[in-house]
Amino acid sequence: AQSVAQPEDQVNVAEGNPLTVKCTYSVSGNPYLFWYVQYPNRGLQFLLKYITGDNLVKGSYGFEAEFNKSQTSFHLKKPSALVSDSALYFCAVSPPRGSGNTGKLIFGQGTTLQVKP
Amino acid sequence: ETGVTQSPTHLIKTRGQQVTLRCSSQSGHNTVSWYQQALGQGPQFIFQYYREEENGRGNFPPRFSGLQFPNYSSELNVNALELDDSALYLCASSPYGQPQHFGDGTRLSIL
């Protein structure tokens, strides 16, 4: 079955420190990979995507993500966290085209990032 | 601001009733997807519409149905509401095959 796992319910980091939010996936083939962020009472905001190419993807607000095919991981990173980064982060995969899939997103359970001053 | 607007923002219904949720997609986006996000969970794919045709469906019963209009706006209809239907319903639009942009959702509460 296709799935996404975010093993940490919450990540706590001090402002100015680097952060990592982990994501692993179980999807056959070469899926598209995404990170979204959700602020309270809001929808999901697109951060970045990996389709193909360089394993390090840069996105919005200084975030980046590292794709590792052998470990089927797509961890979200930021070199220096801000208090305003505190939010709920979702990893998502879209199964490859041509496999009967239509661009639907399969989401993980989400990780709450708490950045403390 | 994604340009995807959903209405209403909040809604309270009782079991057995029917509900229609609306989504206005971002200009130029011909694909609309609907997701259900239960409290504390990640969004679950309900279905997708592309050029007014259903283009994929998740594991939801037939009482969840939808429409996409020529201007690419969309509706989600749910019949015979159940308590477990209480959730945030998210609409996302995109050009076909591109990253999806989400609205702020409709919070549906079933009493």
Q: What one-character-per-residue DSSP string does B5-44 give?
A: EEE-SEEEE-TT--EEEEEEPPTT--EEEEEEE-TTS--E
- Are the beta carbons of B104 and A42 separated by less than 8 Å? yes
Q: Give the one of A42, A105, A110 whose C-beta lies nearest to B100's C-beta.
A: A105
DSSP state of A95: P
Confidence (pLDDT) at B27: 82
Contact A94, A103 (CB under 8 A): yes
Return the pLDDT at B28: 83
Best probe of the A interface among B31, B104, B106, B107, by most A CBs < 10 A, is B104
> Where do we find the tokens 């519409």?
B49
Q: Is the CB of B90 inside 8 Å of chain A's CB atoms? A: yes
Residue among A90, A92, A103 whose CB faces B31 most closely: A103
DSSP-derived secondary structure for A16-83: TS-EEE--EEE-SS--EEEEEEE-TT--EEEEEEE-SS-SEEE-GGG-EEEEETTTTEEEEEESS--G
**pLDDT tens string B23-75:** 998 888 889 999 999 998 999 999 999 889 998 899 999 999 999 999 889 99
pLDDT at B87 over 80: yes
Query: For residue A89, how many C-alpha atoms fall within 13 Å in the half-sphere facing its CB?
Result: 32
Contact state of B42 with A34 under an 8 Å Cβ cutoff: no
Q: Which pLDDT score is estimated for B19?
A: 98
Report yes or no: A70 and A20 within 8 Å, Cβ to Cβ: no
pLDDT by residue, tens only, chain A of 117 residues: 789 999 999 999 999 999 999 999 998 888 899 999 999 888 899 999 998 888 999 999 999 999 999 999 999 999 999 999 999 999 999 887 665 566 789 999 999 999 999
What residues of A are in the B interface, CB distance below 8 Å?
Answer: 4, 34, 36, 41-46, 49, 90, 92, 97, 101-110
Is A105's CB within 8 Å of B35's CB? yes
